[in-house]
Chains A and B, each alone.
Chain A
Amino acid sequence: MSASDLATVASAVVLLALAGAAGALLRHEVVSRVGPVGTAGRAAAVAAVNVVGAAIAAAASIAPLQPVARLVVVTGFAGALTTFSTWVLDAVLAPGAGRGVRVVAAVDLVGQLVVGTAVVVAITALR
């Protein structure tokens, strides 16, 4: 690997880390303001960051971007803005906050995955 290749990789890693930090921080700002774990408001906030993040990733994946820029936006920012662990843990804890198991399963889990995937399919169809 040449010195210039090494510099490219190093700058990509730094940009990836910065994008990940920004995505995580934005998610935290949105999700932590709406209510305790397990509540419907919090589930809506997690759904919002996840669907918006999936849309951003889909748009960046078809946009005429340099490979490093695409990596930074798709893997860095959108990857960190969206979350799987909080999504499923909130669903597990939702019945403890008084929410019905069937509603959580149908809306929070299946519904969000269907909507998120449909948004990606619709955006990537524009390619």
Chain B
Amino acid sequence: MRTSSVGHRVEVAVGGAAGTLLRAGLAATAIALTGADLAAAVAVVLAGNVAGAYALGWLVARATSDPWTARWVPAVGSGGLGSLTTFSALALQLADLLAAGALLSALGLAAASVVSGVAAARAGARAGRRPDAAGHGPRPEVPGP
């Protein structure tokens, strides 16, 4: 069990605000370009989620061997990437597709989200891991995303 310092909480909140504004900005841009098209909204959420999963995988893996990177996990990981990516928007979009009778599209979006998200997180973690990370000195404590 771990508790956060006040400083970590402030970093999470600031990162959360930034990640939320970036996600909202991307959604607003998609609406401006396409006129509130559901497919565009789906693409924006999916792209943000997959990119965020890759970045978080990289960050957390690199943080295990790099104290400087670990320092950024609360703000960038828990706050920024945690808020850039979203589960609720995905669930709302799946419900919208089901309500519209587009069962295959809903299944496709669900499968694409889970498969590409897991693949991106795994690829990010692999890229963030340093080849010489194992067994070279103490690992810094990583606050976790």
Contact = CB atoms under 8 A, between A and B. Distances in A.
Interface string B1-43: 1111000110011111111110110010000000000000000
Which residue, of B20, B60, B81, has the highest number of chain A Cβ atoms within 10 A?
B20
A56 B86 CA distance: 13
Given A88-B114, A92-B57, A92-B122, A82 B78 contact: no
B89 to A, nearest CB: 6
Interface in A35-68: 35-37, 50, 53-54, 56-58, 61
B49 interface: yes
A37 B143 CA distance: 10
A33 B2 contact: yes
Interface string B42-77: 000000010011011100100000000000001000
A84 B12 contact: no
A21 B91 contact: no
A21 B122 CA distance: 27
A36 to B, nearest CB: 7
5 contacts: A21-B14, A28-B4, A84-B87, A85-B81, A86-B85
